[in-house]
Amino acid sequence: LQKSLSETFGADKYSRARKEVLTYMFSRPMQMALYFCTGILHDESLFHHYALNVPFYTHFTSPIRRYADIVVHRLLSASLGARSPITMEKEAIQKQADHCNDRKMASKRVQELSADLFFSVFVRVRP
């Protein structure tokens, strides 16, 4: 697939833009990861990471980037005994996870609409 795409990109002034748009469009159908509280879900098979093929997985980045990462850092710190236990109920944690998922989906939708607009303009000005 990568070889085919590379041939499609070409070497003109639009090749980089074509690469970005097509790569984005091919990755768009991939299932988006969701935040969830493990105490709410009882089926541990839902914790599996398909691409990495690991039974338990959590993802986070620097806690300065997103609120969800702050929550994950706090929960991991508490589970490792590095800080006092979290006083939030698991339902409240799941509510926060749902809110983060909603915001992430809204952001992704705006990104998709922006890419669609860019692609439309790109096709229109292309001879």
Reduced 3-state DSSP string for the chain? CHHHHHHHHCCCCCHHHHHHHHHHHHHCCCCCCCCCCCCCCCCHHHHCECCCCECCCCCCCCCCCCHHHHHHHHHHHHHCCCCCCCCCCHHHHHHHHHHHHHHHHHHHHHHHHHHHHHHHHHHHHCC
Write down the pLDDT at residue 115. Answer: 87
Q: What is the pLDDT of residues 22-75, one digit of tens each?
A: 777 776 666 677 888 888 888 888 787 777 788 888 877 776 778 888 888 888
Q: What predicted TM-score, i.e. pTM, was given to this entire model?
A: 0.64
